[in-house]
Structure 1
């Protein structure tokens, strides 16, 4: 069970590194336009680029936090710190689902919830 929990949490971190890459380095691509449901013209605006880069950075912090909690934080505190970062992902997914796109709750929130439950039960 512990291995499955760690793998799932790592997958959540990997997903957020992908989001970092998409938002910070590929935000004006067709893939980003499709993922975010907006036109490429909008994504090319400097103001929008700045906002996406900022969002991407925060997603990177979530990913690093999850990995840090799993592999650097001492074992006695690892579970609590991992649960904290996964909860942050779930809150962000819930907020994004209400304000941006309903699919965020499934794409980002569900994997985080699964990892959260697995970590909690491990």
Structure 2
């Protein structure tokens, strides 16, 4: 259970970082560099990016719930559900926006899901 919680925590931290990037740094120099945006393109899309960041926060919050929930069986179900959500979001992002999203978002969740299914 400890290894599963640590991995879920790492994936959650990744998604809290995505939230921060998309909601607060989108139009800042660091966000422009990471997302390879021009200032104008970033300004035009900042509300969409903030919305996307919020969804990443929900994914992270779900994984945190799976770590802190006192019922191990229900925590496992929560974790599997949110890993699957992250995987789907990562695959969709890779197909529609940038192939790197698969490796940054979906792959860690796939590894976490395999770990949870193996040890859970």
Report if TM-score (shorter chain) is over 0.5.
Answer: yes
Select 1:75's aligned residue among 66, 72, 77.
72
Higher relative contact order (CA 8 A, sep 6+): 1
Q: Who is 1:29 aligned against?
A: 28
SS of the residue corresponding to residue 26 of structure 2 reads coil
Structure 2: segments with no counterpart, 5+ residues: none
Q: How far did residue 40 of structure 1 move?
A: 2.5
Deviation string, structure 1 residues 52-102 (Cα, Å, up to 9, x no partner)? 110010000000001012212622211111011011000000000000000
Name the count of aligned residue pairs: 119
Separation in structure 1 between the aligned mates of residue 69 and residue 27 of structure 2, nearest angstrom: 35
Equivalent residue, structure 2, for 1:66: 63
Structure 1: runs of 5 or more not aligned: none
Q: Distance in 2 between matches of 1:76 and 1:102?
A: 34
The match for 1:103 is 100
Give the TM-score normalised by the residue count of structure 1. 0.91
Q: Aligned Cα RMSD in Å?
A: 1.3
Counterpart in the other structure of 1:50: 47
Q: CA deviation at 1:24?
A: 0.7
Which consecutive segments of 4 or more residues in structure 1 shift more than 3 A?
A: none
